[in-house]
Amino acid sequence: MCGIVAYVGLKPCQTLLMEGLKRLEYRGYDSAGIAVIQDGGLHVAKAVGRVANLEDRLESIGNFHGTTGLCHTRWATHGGVTEINAHPHTDDKNGIAVVHNGIIENYAALKTYLEEKGHVFKSQTDTEVLAMLIGELYSPAEGIDLEAAVQAALREVTGAYAIAVICEKEPDTLVVARKGSPLLVGVGNNEFVVASDASAIVAHTAQAFKVDDYNVVKITPKGFRTSTINNVPVTPKIEQLELELQEIELGGYAHFMQKEIFEQPKALRNCFRGRMDVRESKVVLGGLNDHAKELTKARRTVLVAQGTALHAAMIGEYLLEDLAKVPSRAEYASEFRYRNPIIEENTVVVAVSQSGETADTLAALHEAKDRGALALGVINVVGSSISRETDAGVYLRVGPEIGVASTKAFTGQVAVLTLITLFMARRRFMSNEQCSDLMAELDRLPEKIERVLESDAKIRKVTERYIGKENWLFLGRGYNYPTALEGALKLKEISYIHAEGMPAAEMKHGPIALITDGMPAVFIANKGKQYDKVMSNIQEVRARGGHVIAVATEGDNEIRKYAEDVLYIPDIPEPLSPMLAVVPLQLMAYHAAVLRGHDVDKPRNLAKSVTVE
């Protein structure tokens, strides 16, 4: 959602804070701000737009030199994109500054209470209410220092938060706290770097601990104290950060999305490494061994997720039913959690998420666990909230994903769901041979993706041909219906072209009315059980003047007669084909965004991880 970086130590911290904030910009980028304590006072600067605008502002007002500070990059929830609404927010009497990621749900009631006490608000945000409340409770004379004031304020708050707080009356103190939104404390020599995720910390230290829910950490250059909001001491576990700096560098690519598309072969090799024992035709998923019996007896699986992760979950649904014979369904987590779901005995709920922080998916997981389901996670970010709240799970191991438009995490999620399916299927109905054959095909998948990536230039050319078109359709059947949804989502979220994905058979039940001359219709038409059906659907579009772009199997010359453009992928068994067929769609979306001059890695109105409902 938003990105937070804070520092307390012995050196001037502006540069460190700005560098960290730029690494977190994928979390939200509509405005940014910084506050430091120097010369006995609080100094604040804010700017609308990118962190670069804030740097320009600091340049113009004279850079800060304080050694205690915090900063923030925003994804607006309460109040428009203005300088006033940008963080940090301050109180009106004690020189207290707060940055916040999350939502204070009862802010309106607290605001009324504080207005009755005479406080005057400048912004429309929920966060300013928190700053005022901390200021109202702050009373060193009565022994209520900054830490105690933050604890007291958070006992009044409902909602989700990760916050950092400083006060000009305690120049060497930084107080941070968390409930729901992620927050890490990086431990250095006489200095501490606090951030929403590791990418803003790894350049300074590899030692860090996660702040747990309802925990508050008081930090000075000399050390830190962790306690609950009720002031019960807590001892956090300091761990080695797994992230390396080069993983979060562009590495010669123009955009992180492009880098992550081209990293997919390597990412999938990492994902499969040590997990496929072809000789024993066994899938090895250490994280699931303790629940192997329950998984063998599973009577139903429900997969919960949002966005791209949901499209991967939908392919998981097809795989589990088709190959493991487990009744399965993929659901919007946001719908699942509020529709009073029926969770019978031996139900397995699988939460699929790249970030592991998506609030809707986390809440759906809680709902399922409360109703007795075995809760599994298919997650990329190690140690994320969802991964810590599941009973067991499998990490994607595809490396950090920075581009807001998810790509390698999608193929990684489908790959892991395929492994989980084989893990269950081998314990239910699947033969050695069938399992070995599929594992052998999985082993060959990275090289097949490399072959598709070699046709990048051709895919760019095809995209150029339709770049002026404002409405596109994406169509697929069976395993590749969710792939069509994913292709449409990728195009929408980074090129801002309106696109609709749907089962190819559904078109004639209405959407076919949208087809006009030259309208691009992307079909996933690789060889498979429903190939002939897809060909009929292609004819329906052509008959109405639509232009067909077909993703087809190498060697299929027949399809050339019916499609304006054909993007070939190597032959592959149908259940595995989504991981291959999606690659040309990812590249088309990427090139469309570049050709339209959009900021590919930070598309408008989006954020990499959505930590509020």
Q: Is 334 in the site for ligand AGP (CB under 6 A)?
A: no
Q: List the one residue from 308, 390, 495, 586 that touches ligand AGP (CB under 6 A).
A: 308
Torsion, CA 568, CA 572, CA 575, CA 581, rounded to 10: -20
User: Residue 182 or residue 546: which is nearer to ligand AGP going by CB?
Assistant: 182
169 is catalytic: no
- Contact flag: residue 486 with ligand AGP (CB under 6 A): no
Counting contacts by CB under 6 A, is residue 418 touching ligand AGP? Answer: no
Contact 578, 414 (CB under 8 A): yes
* Residue 119 or 490 with smaller CB distance to ligand AGP: 490
Task: Give the interface size with ligand AGP as a residue count (CB under 6 A).
Answer: 15
Which of 201, 304, 404, 580 binds ligand AGP (CB under 6 A)? It is 404
**Cα-to-chain-centroid distance, residue 269:** 22
Using CB under 6 A as the binding rule, whether residue 493 contacts ligand AGP is answered as yes
Positive or negative, the Cα torsion across 315, 317, 319, 321? Answer: negative
Element (H, E) at 44: strand 41-48
405 near ligand AGP (CB under 6 A): yes
Q: Which of 361, 385, 387, 418 binds ligand AGP (CB under 6 A)?
A: 361
Sequence-separated (6 or more) residues with CB below 8 Å from residue 422: 283, 323, 324, 430, 435, 438, 439
The piece of 7-15, 176-184, 262-270, 300-308 that touches ligand AGP (CB under 6 A) is 300-308
- Pairing relationship of beta strands 520-524 and 547-553 according to DSSP bridges: parallel
Q: Compute the distance between CA of residue 70 and CA of residue 194 in angstroms, rounded to an integer.
A: 9
By the 10 Å C-beta count (0-12 exposed, 13-18 middle, 19+ buried), 604 is classed as exposed
Q: Which is nearer to ligand AGP, 388 or 428 (CB)?
A: 388
Binding window for ligand AGP (CB under 6 A); candidates: 92-100, 167-175, 319-327, 399-407: 399-407
Q: Which is nearer to ligand AGP, 157 or 309 (CB)?
A: 309
387 binds ligand AGP (CB under 6 A): no
Rg (CA), the chain: 26
Q: Is position 358 an interface residue for ligand AGP (rule: CB under 6 A)?
A: yes
* CB nearer ligand AGP, residue 227 or residue 355: 355
- Residue 412 near ligand AGP by CB under 6 A: no
Q: Does 355 bind ligand AGP (CB under 6 A)?
A: yes
Residue 149 Cβ, how far from ligand AGP at the closest point, in Å?
A: 34
Q: Which stretch binds ligand AGP (CB under 6 A): 69-77, 173-181, 320-328, 352-360?
A: 352-360
- Give whichever of 95 and 476 is closer to ligand AGP, judged by the CB atom: 476
For residues 507 and 498, give the distance between their C-alpha atoms in angstroms, rounded to a whole number.
16
Work out which of 73, 199, 353, 553 binds ligand AGP, going by CB under 6 A.
Answer: 353
| The 3-state secondary structure of 498-539, one letter per residue | EEEEEEHHHHHHCHHHHCCCCCEEEEECCCCCCHHHHHHHHH
3-state DSSP helix/strand/coil % of the chain, to nearest 5 = 40, 25, 35
Tell me: does residue 609 bind ligand AGP (CB under 6 A). yes
| Residue 603 touches ligand AGP, criterion: CB under 6 A | no
**Catalytic pick from 2, 13, 167, 435?**
2
Is residue 22 among the annotated active site residues?
no
- Catalytic residue numbers, as ranges: 2, 608
Would you tell me which residues interact with ligand AGP (CB under 6 A)?
306-309, 353-355, 358, 361, 404-406, 493, 609-610
